[in-house]
Structure 1
């Protein structure tokens, strides 16, 4: 039993060893087969790669051949084109050479002809020189004979003749200068009158002369007591808030507002009308209404300025400049409303600029803003023209506009024709009849002074101030004064008037000298 067990164990061990050996042999065989397969796959991959490389190389060679063929074809085309150009250029050169040869031959012919002509000209020149010498000799002999006959030398005769010609020329030049000056002045005055007359006729404006009082109608006399208030507190509140005087007297159904400032009078008038319409009249309500009216009046002034700017066809104004321009609505000069005066001057200036071919918008803009300094003249020191120029410059106006504002009262020199037109339009608008108030006494004194200045001149027979003092006509005695002296009298009298009189606009001086010959047919 022991032996069989050992045998079995030995058989089991041998079987195990055999199994292990078989397994190892099978494993090595499978590994060998795998290696063989992998080597086969690698060999096939290499072969495939070689075939692909050969294909790529063949394709590259074919593409290279195509490129070489195309380049060769293009090169042949370029060579053919260059050969054609060269043949054309060669033909042109041949033609030019032929034309040059022809010109050279023609020039040679001309040269030979010129040489022949030069030779002939030289011979003629010699003959002319001989004739000129003979003429000079004859002229000398003739001059000597004339000097013997006249009893003076040629130089003396020349000086005498020049003196006579110079004196005659001076007389002629003086006459021509006088005639030219008179014609130029007549033409200029005629054209200026036509332009100014047409400008004024095309701009018709009516002014209501401003005064220092305003009348506010009231519904009944009982309202007067409410306006006065208990112990006068309401009327005192109105006067304190507006800065004007309220006059309540026996005038039926009316209250008078008195004050020199038109803006304050307008604020007081509108405030009083609103208070009466509202019915609540007491100091607190009065202050509220006055404050609201001030704001509304500011808006009204701004809108009025914008309206005028639109009417004139202008634009691009700074808002602050429009605000200052609107303040002219309640500013007056001798009773003439400054804002409407500026509008009228702008229209006149634009028409004159159009007639003269100048910048119409520039002329209108300068005339509209020329009195803008009057809006602040009561707050700041200085002439209103210079104040206005500073305001315009501050708010971005051009140099020409600033100059037109500053120069309209001749405080600076004008730099453009439009500045001169602005001054003329301002004077026309201010000096035309009915534009401004003038005290009767000062008006009569000015006329008397004007006539007395004319009568004080030597040779004056009569003098008349006409056209509301804008023209003085002087009649001189014909036997005491010549035309030249009459011309000088008009200039002297004009200078005298400028020095001794103050007047709006300009005064025309007309000197009349006439001859009258009377005879009766019987």
Structure 2
């Protein structure tokens, strides 16, 4: 149903009802004539209908205007979208045309490129054939020759790199070895120096220290002057220390002081007597030690001065080992190695037995004990092969004989 018609019908019904109610109220007061009531009702109904029609027209005009505006707005929007779509369609058509043109250009370029590639390959093949004809060998031989040259160059470069790496590795190993050795020396230096330069003499009581020192230090000064050592009297309970780098003097002083402590009479005269007696005993001990070591190794006819120097090594230690014992062991080992190799066993024993003899005077003479020992052996008539083995056992001199190598090994 039309909304406008429904609205007019509703207004008419409402007007009739309102007119009936108005007439009803008037009839209560003054009952009118039926013809008047009907006439009034008709008039009221006409007025209501007229007003309702007018309002309906007004609402219909308003509704129509609003709908027209909405329709106009939609039409404008549709026109705008249509224009946009037309523009997009035109753009797409232009792009399509451009793409088609580019596609034609690409196809043409590909064709040209293929033709150029075929022509280049043909030209390259012709040039290769001409070069092979001019050079006198084919491309495979040239390739192999080039590869060989590249391989040789790469091998030379690799050798240079390897040599550099080895050099750096040796330098780094040397630095690290020096650092490690320095650390070990630093940790052990104090202990080694103490072992090689000091001897301890036990005392029955600390009162003996005062007697050793004597009045105004007379006894200790006399002892140090006669024995040629430093006598250390400190707070160490029950002992004093004898200090010197000469192991023989240190042993003489230790023995003399031990005898003085046992005797109890300590004064300058008794000190001189004790030191003289101890010196005689130690010198005899040195001579005996040298002779017994020579016999132990199985050697004969060694100069007496060399035997004395060997005996002095009884009181010398090196790397924690008694040097004379080390020489005896080295002589036996060198003899066994020489016997296995079929060379002069006596020469090997003699060289190994004398190789560290320079240590007997190394505290008195500066220089390498190997070179000092070689000079001493030469002075006392040792064979040239023995002298060479002594001087070469620490590589100060390059070893030139099998005996020298055996001494190094022993």
TM-score by length of 2: 0.49
Larger radius of gyration: 2
Which structure shows the higher helix fraction?
A: 2
